[in-house]
């Protein structure tokens, strides 16, 4: 079992404010799975317009956060000293089950379904208070920075 704080997450992902959407990794199993969290706060810029009288986290940002967690898993599973980037390449079967609101804490559980060369396929689930709020299958490619 491995945990990563925000500094360790930022050493793996290129994202920064306001687009870094992962706060902590709670558990990580190399090449297999990851569990991470995002604290949702009213101070996030998208809540200004989505929606002012009833703030709801945009579904596309939930998927982006899920993809970033998958990126932490894939990028942490590389076994050499090159710097890598992950590109999100596809998404299937997205389902949103409940709205995510300020004050919620999203727990992401990502499992590797398949890894073939640079290509990764993940099962992603997002939970708030134990309830499934979003599920999707995500695809991504990981490349050394000097090849992109």
Residues acting as catalytic residues: 50
> 3-state DSSP call for residue 71?
helix
> Vertex 74, ends 20 and 77: CA angle to 5°?
125
Cα–Cα distance, 98 to 132 (Å, whole number) = 8
Is residue 108 within 8 A of residue 126, CB to CB? The reply is: yes
Q: What is the CA radius of gyration of the chain?
A: 15
> 3-state DSSP call for residue 132?
strand
What backbone phi and psi angles, to 5 degrees, belong to 34? -150, 150
46 half-sphere exposure, CB direction, 13 A CA radius: 17
């Amino acid at each position: 079992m491995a945990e990563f704080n925000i500094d360790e997450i930022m050493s793996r992902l290129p994202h920064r404010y306001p687009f870094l959407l992962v706060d902590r990794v709670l558990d990580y199993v190399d090449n297999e799975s990851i569990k991470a969290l995002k604290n949702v706060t009213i101070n996030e810029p998208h809540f200004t317009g989505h929606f002012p009288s009833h703030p709801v986290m945009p579904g596309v940002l939930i998927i982006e956060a899920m993809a970033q967690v998958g990126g932490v898993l894939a990028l942490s599973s590389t076994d050499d000293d090159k710097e890598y980037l992950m590109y999100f390449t596809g998404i299937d079967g997205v389902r949103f089950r409940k709205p995510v609101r300020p004050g919620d804490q999203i727990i992401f559980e990502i499992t590797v379904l398949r890894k073939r060369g640079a290509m990764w396929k993940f099962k992603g689930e997002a939970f708030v208070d134990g309830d499934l709020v979003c599920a999707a299958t995500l695809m991504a490619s990981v490349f050394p920075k000097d090849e992109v």
